[in-house]
Structure 1
Amino acid sequence: MSRPPPQQPRGVPPTKAMWAPLRRRLFRALWIAQLVANTGTWMQTVGAQWLMGDLGGDALDIALVQTATALPIFLLVVPAGALGDILDRRRLLLVSQVLTFAGAAALAVLTAADAVTRPLLLTLTGLMAVGQAFAVPTFQAIQPELVSLDEIPQAALLNGANGNVARAIGPALGGALISVAGPEATFALNALSFLGVMLVLYVWKRPPDHRPLGAEHIRDAIRAGARYVRSAPEFAAVLWCSVMFTFCASGMWALLPALARGPLGLGAGGYGVLLAGVGAGAVAGAFALPVARGRMGPNTVVAGSTICYALAMAVISTVEAVPVVIAALVAAGLAWIAVLSTLNAAAQLLLPEWARARSLAYYQLVFMGGQAVGALVWGLVAESLSLRAAFLVPAAVLILSTPIGVLRVPLPTARFDMRQVRHYPEPPSDMEHNRGPLLVVVEWHVDPANAEAFLQVMQQIGRARRRTGATMWSLFEDMEEPTLYVETFTIQTAHEHLRQHVERGTARDQELDLQALRLVMEGTYPEVRHLIWAYAPTPGQEAKEPELRSIVSLLRPR
């Protein structure tokens, strides 16, 4: 299932390494097509927010445009991520782009016909977000298929710069188009911008996925993704940093149109210039960040950039001089891409192939959920207190929470080997059995001198078992024989346990097993037993028993 491209030579200067992924033809074509699509999306955002104001919407209504953009992704991204792991990713991306194109085209036609109301604008914006929900985790999941693992941080940075170059170009174009041809022009061009992405995906000759055990049911895939995220503390640290930052940072994005219309007294073109300032800062950050990463760790980059973003928000809310506001927005854009690209690269490098899309769905869940909820919360703060308070309060929260986050939930700095490793040979292609649950019992004989080290390794092995499918895991010490430790874990079905061995093992997990094996008593080897719950007969059980015995025989250690 894994398709590692050629490795990038080490020792490449940061400024050159940043552009390395663009040497890959497919990555380059998709990056350019996405730049056009992202530009159209930002034109659409300016058009939708400005149209909401023209329709009589207040600050809360304008903030709800961002909520309509983020909330469908928040609700659908988890099943969409599961589909990204069990279906062909290229076809899923094509379907998502067609859906988004249809929503943008419908909004353009209805706006031109002067038939759009505030609820309809939010509904069609949400429809396009449905298409994005099915695309976002899968677009991130295919990155290791387009570039080498060493190029993932640079690819994440380039993808972040892509969106922010579009943020620099799109709002300015959107503002100019609104003043000349109305919001419907931004919606029409946004619809056309998706054609390039659809063309690149259509001509991509992606190799078919190799699934010896067949595709998972979407329900089982969602459960497996949830188990993986719950049992991956390093990935959980990335999620925590993402939700804290996006919840507070969303206030600026949601209320910048109200700030432009109100205290700054700007029109659509001026609002586009403000957003262009954010995009320009993000582009500058794309050049500066590789150097910063080479000198500082991810925690320092994220903490410093978060404080920079908070200070920029404070300046924006208290100063009415447009040049000063633009300068603060440039700093905010630089900080925005520094935080998000660092978190995105960390998330991708922590995940194995089999769980990448469904786990990245949780990354997008907290990211878009933080934006959706944050936009609503800070919109309500603006309504009940003041627009200035809606900028200052989240800025203060960011500054106060950053030291706590870095100390208590630091980002991982070690690089884990997440390559797929198969512990057992592939089973026959027609083998299926869903009887369960299955109890696995492993007896370890450990010298008392190695007991403490063994217990520490087994804690990590327990997380690995749960990441790959175990629903319960325990380790017991025999009271009468102190050298004996009994490990037990349950799996939903025997077939699911087979997936642990054939599809979900990683080199990192294998190394943990080897560490435990080095600590057992000389001349001993762990004894493994597989027990099926006796009170769970299935239809046709008698016919399935030979097959069950074949499954269990495959699970025996060799």
Structure 2
Amino acid sequence: MVTPGGGAEPTASAWAPLRTAVYRNLWLALLAANIGTWMQTVGAQWLLVNQSNASTLVALVQTASLLPVLLLALPAGALADAFDRRHLLISVQLFLVGVAAALALLTAAGRMPPALLLTLTFAFGVGQALTLPAWASVIPELVSREHLRAASALGSISVNLARAVGPAVAGVLIARLGVAPVFALNGVAFLVFAYALLRWRPGDARAVEVPERFTAALRAGGRYVRHSPIVRRLLRRALVFVLPASALWALLPLVASRRLGMNSSGYGLLLAALGVGAIVGGVLLPWIRTRLTANQFLLLAGVLYGATLLVVASVRIVPVVLVALLPAGLAWVVVLANVNAEIQLFLPGWVRARGLAVFQVVQGGGQAVGAFAWGVVADVAGLVAAFAGAGALMLLSAVTSQIWPLPELRGVKRDPATYWPRLQLALQPDPRVGPVLIEVTYTVRPERRADFLTAMELVRGSRQRTGAMRWGLFHEAECRDRYVEVYLVPSWDEHLRQHGGRLTEADQEAEQRVRGIADGEPDVRHMFPAAAGPVTEERTV
């Protein structure tokens, strides 16, 4: 495998995760749910193609389904990190069954105006926003680490196989039976996924000694991403691809009906071409990694997708458009599946769902905002102008892969490490007490000052990612060899979590480097607000 910075590694088979029975069963059930979701999307969009301002309304179907991801993914990630993910997933699927039933019944009764359709589509988006981070964070519990990239690619294959099958089935059903049966089948698909989750019995319950408070968990997740340059770089790469790419998904039904003269079945065929290309991309992704560096295939994928947008803008020949959509589907999977897998591999377990939720915010929010923007451009300037503008922007974003390349992750150690000594306290505080000030004093000889300051930069990042609200390093005026690190943690509970699960082997290496430069062991002190009133007793934590 060629990793982000280049260099070969052994490549797992694209299908290897399916050898694990529990993953295979859930993957198949999720495939059914994904097929239902794409059937629902086609049905909703086709109900609106004959409305006035159809360009904006059709694009708003994408926006309504993806905007909840922008609004709710991070809270959903906090819930998934704090509580039982299986129970959360089951509850959400049953909610989606109810929404699908409402859509089917109201559509069959002829009581589905655009506003209500978009509202219920938004409700579907809420369910998806709650599902995505919980499911993504469950995958590392189902497959081994060496199969994680293949599992991520299989997730994309599931989505895109559904994109190939769902629209085609929906197109036939709409042409023969109408939209209501499509919505009803979507509800059945979610019921299948809920049943598969009910049958799954995790071998080891995920240990959550005391769930984090919701607002504290939200802040901790945001703080981790804010202070992780690698995660920010990966998110930026996803965003600059998704914004122009969203034009194709948002406006394709209008291309089918207005430029190519196709009915709902024809629109399903166009989506199927995208799905087939994406499936091929998922299967070929391990092979691609052995031939190209990540930044090379980012450039190639952006060029392919941009070329597709320009072809759709300029060509009215159906076979040509179908052929052009194949590489676009491939490029979509190659970029987003790879970025998603890199984030899964990098994030430590304690914050994985929240970090993946931020990725979903970037991907889903970028699609939602992009879909609305390109819909407005199409209404004002026309479909051709919208696709031409999106194509030019995609080609520009491909060039940025050489300016903002994917980070080098080889050798980055993400396994948890508990290496801080047990705390010997004279005062035992309540876990809610805060903020807590931690002071660490180092003795460093003058000739080692430069190395010490460089090494402390890595320690600073570790402290801020795992809980510190503020951090500083000071040189004591009374002693030229003494440096004092101070950092502020929101609560005593938050600091105990640093001691008991948030640190990784990479954090340990950073601290060991500092201690190797300093003379002797550092002196550590913990200070609480004077008004907190902790119980006076000696206690080991």
Place the TM-score, normalised by the shorter chain, in its bin.
over 0.9
The 1:424–1:454 alpha-carbon spacing in structure 2 relative to 1, beyond 3 Å, is closer
Residue in structure 1 matched with residue 267 of structure 2 by the alignment:
271
The 1:431–1:39 alpha-carbon spacing in structure 2 relative to 1, beyond 3 Å, is farther
1:55 and 1:117 in contact (8 A); partners too: no
Of 465, 468, 471, the match for 1:470? 468
1:426 and 1:502 in contact (8 A); partners too: no
1:298 and 1:413 in contact (8 A); partners too: no
The AA in structure 1 aligned to 2:501 is E
The 1:106–1:186 alpha-carbon spacing in structure 2 relative to 1, beyond 3 Å, is same
1:54-203 aligned within 5 A: 54-56=50-52, 58-203=54-199
TM-score by length of 1: 0.91
Measure, in 2, the Cα distance between the counterparts of 1:256 and 1:166: 17
Q: CA deviation at 1:176?
A: 0.5
1:302 and 1:342 in contact (8 A); partners too: no
The 1:450–1:427 alpha-carbon spacing in structure 2 relative to 1, beyond 3 Å, is closer
Give 5+ residue unaligned stretches, structure 2: 1-7
Measure, in 2, the Cα distance between the counterparts of 1:346 and 1:314: 30
Residue in structure 2 matched with residue 4 of structure 1 by the alignment:
none
The AA in structure 2 aligned to 1:370 is G
Is the partner of 1:313 in helix, strand or coil? helix
TM-score by length of 2: 0.94
1:349 and 1:415 in contact (8 A); partners too: no
Give 5+ residue unaligned stretches, structure 1: 1-10
Residue in structure 2 matched with residue 486 of structure 1 by the alignment:
484
Q: CA deviation at 1:448?
A: 3.2
Q: CA deviation at 1:453?
A: 2.5
Measure, in 2, the Cα distance between the counterparts of 1:490 and 1:520: 22
Q: Which moved more, 1:395-404 or 1:265-274?
A: 395-404
1:228 and 1:467 in contact (8 A); partners too: yes
2:295 and 2:405 in contact (8 A); partners too: no
Residue in structure 2 matched with residue 209 of structure 1 by the alignment:
206
Measure, in 2, the Cα distance between the counterparts of 1:162 and 1:496: 38
The 1:81–1:489 alpha-carbon spacing in structure 2 relative to 1, beyond 3 Å, is same
Q: CA deviation at 1:260?
A: 0.8
Measure, in 2, the Cα distance between the counterparts of 1:180 and 1:469: 57
The alignment yields a C-alpha RMSD, in angstroms, of 2.0
Q: CA deviation at 1:309?
A: 0.8
Measure, in 1, the Cα distance between the counterparts of 2:9 and 2:233: 29
The AA in structure 1 aligned to 2:500 is V
Is the partner of 1:433 in helix, strand or coil? coil
Measure, in 2, the Cα distance between the counterparts of 1:279 and 1:425: 53
* 2:529 pairs with 1:525: no
Measure, in 2, the Cα distance between the counterparts of 1:182 and 1:278: 24
The 1:26–1:303 alpha-carbon spacing in structure 2 relative to 1, beyond 3 Å, is same
Residue in structure 2 matched with residue 342 of structure 1 by the alignment:
338
Of 21, 28, 34, the match for 1:32? 28
Residue in structure 1 matched with residue 218 of structure 2 by the alignment:
222
Measure, in 1, the Cα distance between the counterparts of 2:199 and 2:423: 33
Measure, in 2, the Cα distance between the counterparts of 1:306 and 1:299: 11
**Identity percentage of aligned residues:** 41
Q: CA deviation at 1:403?
A: 2.5
Q: CA deviation at 1:432?
A: 4.2
1:359-394 CA deviation, whole Å, 9 max, x = no partner? Answer: 111111111110110011111111111111111112
Residue in structure 1 matched with residue 302 of structure 2 by the alignment:
306
Q: CA deviation at 1:304?
A: 1.7
Is the partner of 1:529 in helix, strand or coil? strand
Is the partner of 2:496 in helix, strand or coil? helix
Residue in structure 1 matched with residue 347 of structure 2 by the alignment:
351
Of 40, 43, 48, the match for 2:39? 43
The 1:13–1:360 alpha-carbon spacing in structure 2 relative to 1, beyond 3 Å, is closer
1:165-219 CA deviation, whole Å, 9 max, x = no partner? Answer: 111111111101100111111111111011221112112212323233x111100
Measure, in 2, the Cα distance between the counterparts of 1:283 and 1:127: 28
The AA in structure 1 aligned to 2:341 is A
Of 437, 442, 445, the match for 1:444? 442
Measure, in 1, the Cα distance between the counterparts of 2:244 and 2:269: 23
Is the partner of 1:546 in helix, strand or coil? strand
The 1:308–1:396 alpha-carbon spacing in structure 2 relative to 1, beyond 3 Å, is same
Measure, in 2, the Cα distance between the counterparts of 1:450 and 1:12: 37
The AA in structure 2 aligned to 1:516 is V
The AA in structure 2 aligned to 1:233 is P
Is the partner of 2:488 in helix, strand or coil? strand
The AA in structure 1 aligned to 2:357 is A
The 1:45–1:346 alpha-carbon spacing in structure 2 relative to 1, beyond 3 Å, is same
Of 367, 376, 393, the match for 2:389? 393
Measure, in 2, the Cα distance between the counterparts of 1:497 and 1:409: 34
The 1:306–1:527 alpha-carbon spacing in structure 2 relative to 1, beyond 3 Å, is same
Of 378, 382, 385, the match for 2:378? 382
1:532-543 aligned within 5 A: 532-534=528-530, 537-538=531-532, 541=533
Measure, in 2, the Cα distance between the counterparts of 1:144 and 1:78: 19
Measure, in 1, the Cα distance between the counterparts of 2:82 and 2:183: 33
* 2:529 pairs with 1:545: no
1:383-421 CA deviation, whole Å, 9 max, x = no partner? Answer: 111111111112211212332343235333334222222
Measure, in 1, the Cα distance between the counterparts of 2:389 and 2:120: 31
Q: CA deviation at 1:342?
A: 0.5
1:469-497 CA deviation, whole Å, 9 max, x = no partner? Answer: 00001112234533322111001112211
Measure, in 2, the Cα distance between the counterparts of 1:395 and 1:483: 59
Residue in structure 2 matched with residue 457 of structure 1 by the alignment:
455
The 1:301–1:418 alpha-carbon spacing in structure 2 relative to 1, beyond 3 Å, is same
Q: Figure out how many residues of one structure are paired with residues of the other and give that number.
A: 530
